[in-house]
Amino acid sequence: DIQMTQSPSTLSASVGDRVTITCRASQSISSWLAWYQQKPGKAPKLLIYKASSLESGVPSRFSGGGSGTEFTLTISSLQPDDFATYYCQQYNSYCGFGQGTKVEIK
Amino acid sequence: QVQLQESGPGLVKTSETLSLTCTVSGVSISNYYWSWIRQPPGKGLEWIGYIYYSGNINYNPSLKSRVTISVDTSKNQFSLKLRSVTAADTAVYYCALDFRGYWYFDLWGRGTLVTVSS
């Protein structure tokens, strides 16, 4: 069973800030990692797959990196629409999600 | 435009069976991979299971003994049954589409809240 741990759980930031969220896997998952954005009352939306591939239509200020057990999601310049909760998901062995990181207004 | 819509009872009694259907529009269910995922109120996401139209199915090992996922190609729908429910099964249930078969989720339904109560 692969455990996914995100940090921080909550992040306070301002519009224009560069923001980085970390996701760690309990064992190597190669690059089999996706990132999602979820807003209150809405379904998650795919942002990144295969650790660093940007989903079509997702703004280029979002980027993903890492491999093995440590991964990052970076928002280069935080926009008002980006305040949300972000989840990582491994798909190396079945599927498993991190516990989420809430990005809130500072 | 591809759309997924969950439907089913919003309230299920403890120990009974939760049954949900996902109706797919804009694409044939026969070509892709389909999942159920749930989210308890205020908590994170949990993958339930995965089906390909040909009958290839995978379940979350933690739920496997209670879950059945099936597909109805004639109706372009797939379904979830979760047996012997408890309050811990109260959640928003999402159906989701995986276009490429890599086990991440390109598109999600809007979700439906199912409450388990005696």
Give the model confidence (pLDDT) of B42-90 as tens digits. 999 999 999 998 879 999 999 999 999 999 999 999 999 999 999 999 9
Give the Cβ contact number of residue B71 at 10 Å: 21
Other beta carbons within 10 angstroms of residue A64's beta carbon come to 23
**A22 CB contacts (<8 Å, ≥6 apart)?**
A6, A7, A70, A71, A72
Residues 32-91 of B with CB under 8 A from A: 35, 44-47, 50, 58, 60-61
Express each pLDDT in B94-114 by its tens digit. Answer: 999 999 889 999 999 999 999
Residues 98-117 of B with CB under 8 A from A: 102-111
Choose among B81, B95, B103, B70: nearest CA to B3: B95
List the beta bridge partners of residue B77. Answer: B23, B72
CA distance A99 to chain B (A): 5
